[in-house]
Amino acid sequence: MIVDAPEAAAALSDIERIVQRVKQSAIYRTAGAMLMIWGGIVACAYITAYLLPRRAGLIWIIFQLGGLVATGFLSTRKPQEKRYGFDMRTASALLLFFVFGLLWSVVLGKFGPREMNAFWATLFMFGYAMAGLWFGRAFIALGLGITVLTMAGYFWAGPLFEPYMAVVDGGGLVLCGLLMRRA
């Protein structure tokens, strides 16, 4: 059997599409696990802060540190997928992201608790939407969807904003994580 140039080019193109889909799947599997972990952490933090509002700042710090430990563990647990996960550029980007958020939320913003919750949720969803430009539309949909729901809750959830955010932000992350793991 002799393969001519157009057939060979088509076969190589098919192989390249399959390689890209495998890479996308690996990224989505790793991201899905991270989203499920962070979704659970965020939901628990919102509920705990709602029940103990005077300790909300400390509660969020504790849960975020726990999330960072879990993220570090997960990113080192699967060395074959590590090249799609955490490296020094990722760590640097996250550090810059947190510093930016702290600068605006603590130093310049003068936010109340409700504004602080809405700010951080939408800041992270902006990050997910931006990541979607490189990693796939699922990240864009996640970022935009949770941002819209966060803003709706900010204006209309009243005193139940934190439990609402536990469902929308935490539950949304878990749901998206489950969907990405199946991709």
Mean pLDDT calculated for residue range 65-81: 73
3-state secondary structure of 136: coil
Answer whether residue 82 shows pLDDT above 50: no
pTM, rounded to two decimals: 0.79
* Residues 97-124: tens digit of each pLDDT: 888 888 888 888 888 889 999 999 999 8
Characterise 52 by phi-psi region: left (phi > 0), alpha (psi -120 to 50), beta (else): beta
Higher local confidence (pLDDT), 14 or 129: 129
Between the CA atoms of 123, 69, 86 and 134, what dihedral angle is there, to the nearest 10 degrees? -30
3-state secondary structure of 85: coil
* Residues 9-37: tens digit of each pLDDT: 777 777 787 777 767 667 777 778 888 99
Angle at 178 between CA 124 and CA 169, to 5 degrees: 35
